[in-house]
Homo-oligomer: A and B are copies of this chain.
């Protein structure tokens, strides 16, 4: 396993590796949203991916790539969200154990999904420190391999396959837009654009309430969240990592920041007009495309990665 930033070769390997495990998700269009945006929009539907989010691509690539002698000891991760389910299902696909550290406060829905995929759940206090300590102890106990949610070359290469499919299917895109949290997805989008279509511009979309990527980009150095983060986008709470920050710094043209109201409105448009059942963390990318900042740019054909659809139906924002 290398720690060098992944490249086109890694992307092609990942695509071969996960074929037959991950879905090749469809690309949707919507005439009404095109009219509203004044653009041709192409929505890469990762909410139809297995486990309901793009996360399965990276998890699957990382799990399948493990050498057999390591893999048999299982994998370990800590996550309260989509990465936990993705690792659990990827491990089941390979027939190896998965140990998932989840904070006590994780929602019942998400626990249930991880359990259904056959992973062992280990509870911990809801702090970053407790999560890391518990995961570390599990690694020592089981000899399993820790697979982090985004700051890992195999995870990034896996996420890149979603942008690769979009570029394959839709010719002559001017830009791709994806949400940024920890940065695994946007790094994958950068990797695919750089390797396959360098003229396609890449934009990141971020909630104002979790704008570490925008602040890092402005400061030209990696800045982390300094306090607790409150946004409806529960998939975008984390800061960029050591591997993902250089992609945002060097390959993302701009990080477009949007407010909570704009995100809810974009989510509602996707549900009502396009019948695309996405979570708030996915809608942030459409909100960015509908923003004044983006509208100023001379664009015609824009790909939007709808990152996932795991939304709690008991707690809808409308």
Residues of chain B lying within 8 A (CB to CB) of residue A272: 313
* Interface range on chain A (Cβ under 8 Å from partner): 10 to 19
Would A271 and B277 count as touching, CB distance under 8 A?
Answer: yes
| Residue A47 is within 8 A (CB to CB) of chain B in the complex | yes
Residues of chain B lying within 8 A (CB to CB) of residue A277: 271, 275-277
From 73 to 109 in chain A, residues with beta carbon under 8 angstroms from any chain B beta carbon are none
Q: How far is the CA of A48 from the CA of B26 in the complex (A)?
A: 12
Q: How far is the CA of A313 from the CA of B273 in the complex (A)?
A: 11
Q: How many copies does the complex hold?
A: 2
Partner of A309, one of B28, B275, B314, B316: B275
Residues of chain B lying within 8 A (CB to CB) of residue A309: 275
| A275 and B47 contact, Cβ closer than 8 Å, known pairs A26-B26, A313-B268 | yes
Would B275 and A48 count as touching, CB distance under 8 A?
Answer: yes
| Residue A188 is within 8 A (CB to CB) of chain B in the complex | no
| Residue A52 is within 8 A (CB to CB) of chain B in the complex | yes
Closest to A274 in B: B48
Shortest beta-carbon distance from A20 to chain B in Å? 13
Closest to A23 in B: B29
| Residue A31 is within 8 A (CB to CB) of chain B in the complex | yes
Chain A 209-235, CB-CB to B under 8 Å as 1, else 0, gives 000000000000000000000000000
Closest to A45 in B: B275
Shortest beta-carbon distance from A317 to chain B in Å? 10
Q: How far is the CA of A309 from the CA of B272 in the complex (A)?
A: 8
Which A residues are within 8 Å of any B CB, using their own CB?
26, 28, 31, 47-48, 50, 52, 268, 271-272, 275-277, 309, 313-314, 316, 318
- Provide a sorted-by-A list of 18 A–B residue pairs whose CB atoms are within 8 angstroms: A26-B26, A28-B48, A31-B50, A47-B275, A48-B275, A52-B275, A268-B313, A271-B277, A271-B313, A272-B313, A275-B277, A275-B309, A276-B277, A277-B277, A313-B316, A313-B318, A314-B318, A316-B316
